[in-house]
Amino acid sequence: MIKSYAKINLSLNVLGRINSNLHKIETLVSFIDLNDEINIKKINKKNHKIYFYGKFAKGIPSKNTVSKLINLMDKDNLLKGKKYLIKIKKNIPQKAGLGGGSMNAASLIRYFLSKNNLIIKRNKLIKLSKKIGFDVNFGLKLNNTILLKNQSILRTKKKIGLYCVLVKPRFGCSTKLIYKKVKTFSKPVLKKNFFQNINLKNIKRLNNDLEEIAKKAYPQLEKLINFMKNLRHLEFVRMTGSGSTVIAYFKTRNASENATKVIKKKYKKYWCILSKTI
């Protein structure tokens, strides 16, 4: 079984517009122990079989990040004609800013590289991941990662060690809608030496440019964030990606467990779990 871990954006700054559909961003990405579960095995069939099940499987289209990956790998003959049965239990909600689908694809790329001894040059691997989705490249290694202003990626094995209380309202945010409403751009704040002195104080100084936009588009999200900012022993609250998941960060498990109870009591119909950075 492959664990496909959720991605979180500890920061996200929109630096400019590349074209009508794409923006240049810088972001600090980490991973948490919330994960989808992928089971894969070779089959003696003419075609691959891909199934999604679990709490958050409803509504996943037949053309998705996993099917796109498999088709691209077949096109380049990377699987040498072998066919696979892929079953994915979806524990990560959709439209949550947690990169569930992208991390499924990234996890499978890592699997095929390790098990099939595929020899793919780094540049080709990056091109393959970008064809599937922008976030896929982050999940090729489970390290804390920075996307810099020049769109290069830096990774570190240093741990952040934060407990995370994730809350997702009963709605998802439209990434396309959120980015469409971006009218002003930020100056870059992440530098190449950020990981040399990575600590909680420096992370707390960062922000997510999309959060204010999301709050205006979805007033319920603003109410949730304001409520979470008053949790006891809180370090900081920040939306991940384009939302709609909001995360409260804590130093200790005890503080995060207490916060989880408070949130669940207030927002009984919202999805809320406790996790930890890996």
Sheet with strand 236-239: strands edge to edge: 236-239, 246-250, 163-168, 271-276
* Residue from 95, 135, 168, 209 carrying the catalytic annotation: 135
CB 87 within 8 A of CB 51: yes
Token couple for 156: 């570190």
For the chain, give the longest Cα–Cα distance. Answer: 56
Instruction: Judge whether 135 counts as a catalytic residue.
Output: yes
The Cα–Cα gap between 52 and 248 comes to 29
Burial class of residue 23 in the structure, from the number of CB atoms within 10 Å of its CB (0-12 exposed, 13-18 middle, 19+ buried): middle
Answer yes or no: 7 catalytic: yes
CA dist., res. 137 & res. 102, Å (int): 9
Catalytic choice (7, 90, 168, 215)? 7
In whole angstroms, give the CA distance from residue 222 to residue 147. Answer: 27
What are the percentages of helix, strand and coil residues in the chain, rounded to 5? 35, 30, 40
What are 169's two structure tokens?
């309202």
Q: Which residues are catalytic?
A: 7, 135
